[in-house]
Structures are given as C-alpha cells and as structure tokens.
Amino acid sequence: MATVTYRQALRDTLRAEMLRDEDVFLMGEEIGVFEGSYKITEGLLKEFGPRRVRDTPIAEEGFVGAAIGAAMLGLRPVVEIMTINFSLLALDQIVNHAAKIYGMFGGQCSVPMVIRTPGGGGQQLGATHSQNVELFYSFIPGLKVLAPSTPAEASAMLKAAIRDDDPVLFLENLALYNTKGEVPDDVTPAEIGRAAVTREGTDVTIIAYSRMAHVAAEVAEKLAADGVSAEVVDLRSLRPLDRETVVASVRRTGCAVIAEDDWLTYGIGAEIAATIQEGAFDWLDAPVRRVAMAEVPLPYSKPLELAALPSAESLVTAVRDTLAATGRR
C-alpha cells in the first residue's frame, strides 16, 4: 500500500495496463513529448515509444474518430482530451458513433475505448475551460461515465474502464490531481456502476461525486462534532447509476442532500432527486435539497469564481435546513 497523488495513480495505472496488454495505446494532445498538460503521461513516450503514445493535432473530432476506428478493429485506445470543455468539439463522434455502433450493428462490433478528460472550476481558467458538462454524456445510452474521487478509486476504475468492451468517459476534476491517498500495490478493477457508502450515518444522507465527494466528507466530519450523523454516498459512476445504494441510504436516514459541481438546473442532482422520490418518498422526513454551482458562466475573478462554486459552507447550511424541516433538530 503506497500513498500517492491522484495524478500518480492515473499514470501508474496507464503504465500497468500498457504492460499487461499490447493492444492498449494512448493518444491525445501533447501527451507524448510534452508528457501531458497535467503530466499524467510523464515518461510513457520514452518507455513505450510513439507507436503506443501518440501525439495528435488539436482536432478533437478527428482523433476521437480515429480512436473509435481503432477500437472497432480490436485495439483499446485511451484518449486524453485536454479538458472536458474541448470534448464538445467531438460530440458527434462520441454521441453518434462511439455510443451507437454496438447497438446499430446488432452487437457485431464493440468500441472498447476510454476518453479521459478533466473538468471543474476553481483554477481561474475562465468560463470556457472550467465547466462540468458530464450531464451531456450521462444522458446517452451506450456510454459509461465514471467520476472517481480518490487515488485508489481512480486506479481501480481506470483499470475497469480500459478492460471494458464499451466506450467509457472517465472524468477527472482538476482540483483532485494533487490530492493524496493510499493505493493498493495490486489494484483490483472496480465494479462499474457501483456507488460507495464512504461514511455511515443515521440523520441525513449526503450524495456527491468527484470533488464534491471530498467536500461531503469534510462536511460530515464537521457535522459530527455538533452531534449530527451524516451518511456519505460517493456515486463514482454516473452511468450506469447505482440507484439501489442511494435509495437504501435515504431510507435509513430519512433525509437527503445532493452536492454537485455542475449547474442545478437539469443537473445530475435532478436525476438523483427523482430517483429518491421514486424509491424512497415514503421514508422522507423533509424535501430533498440540492447544492450546486451558480447558474452563470464561471467568472475568471477568483473571489467571484469561489462565490459561484458550491462550498462546504453552502452544504452545511443545506444539511441544517433539511434537518430543521424534519422537526428532529
């Protein structure tokens, strides 16, 4: 068991999977000579050569399409798109091709590819470089969408994604790259589509994913000091969605607060809220509350950016308001 950064866990997993399977190769913008914008692919070009670590032009639609073709012919490409914002340029390839080929061809051809891409605000990168648009992809049947929050989860879920026969969008939040955690020496691939109860509690369920899973854990610790027992559910997978774990947790606590880094309207949280309404309505002691980003293009100004992003303070307030509505506290 080693303590490594989220960034290092990703790099180590890519290397291990490339050593394990010669069909696994990497492609993306500046991943070779420059070793990646976030240094995830550091040293891999030197070790594996340009045949398996391929620098691409700044042409997302083109190289994602090339990866789809390679996957259809039996290879396992792992594509790095510099940020999720740039994936919009490849939306047609991802939505109309990668997600549809298996079904449209009657299962004759699969597309075993992974698209790794970071998103999230808080880095002063401006409105067009700081979005969380995972909802676009979570909405599409035929895609799998993963959003691990810890180095151990990043490693286990990336292994599972690379070995999966379906196209997988692998979401990384920029704020997580330097976070540290223990990763087993021999990582077992995760079960895709399974959420994790990372903290047990009895008073309220906090549901989150990616960066907000860390915020939820921080809030749960703070609330515990005040006698509030919060259960934390880390979704980990946005599609497929582990509705059963969410519903079971809310049935135990009777309250739910959802925390997400995207916009409130039509967001991932809206789908979770609908899931709770359908599966745990009779167990609810208060309305489901959601904490999300302000409904604005994210400002560049640091104070305004921080004000727009969901915070531990806003989540604490939502939990306290929820518990107050129950009459229990």
Question: 10-residue block means of pLDDT along the chain (329 residues)?
Answer: 95 98 97 95 97 96 98 98 96 97 95 96 91 94 98 98 98 96 95 97 98 97 96 98 98 98 94 98 97 95 95 96 87
pLDDT at 17: 98
β-strand partners of 27: 54, 79
pLDDT at 327: 80
Give the residue among 156, 64, 320 at the shortest CA–CA distance from 54.
64
| Residue 129: active-site member | yes
| Residue 60: active-site member | yes
Strands 196-199 and 230-234 come out as antiparallel
Structure tokens at 181: 């955690």
Residue position matching structure tokens 């929820």: 322
CB within 8 Å of 232: residues ≥ 6 apart: 197, 198, 199, 201, 205, 206, 208, 213, 216, 217, 220
Q: Is 168 helix (H, G, I), strand (E, B) or coil?
A: strand
Q: Which of 129, 172, 231, 271 is catalytic?
A: 129
Structure tokens at 36: 């990646």
The reported pTM is: 0.96
CA distances 308 to 133, 176, 300, Å, are 16, 19, 11
Which residue type sits at 119? G
Measured at the CA of 155, the angle between CA 16 and CA 219, to 5 degrees, comes to 165
Buried b or exposed e, range 188-197, using 16+ CB within 10 angstroms: ebbebbebbb
pLDDT at 1: 85
Q: Which of 35, 60, 231, 260 is catalytic?
A: 60
DSSP assignment of 151-200, as one string?
A: HHHHHHHHHHHHH-SS-EEEEEEGGGTT-EEEE-SSPPPP-TT--EEEE-
CB 181 within 8 A of CB 152: yes
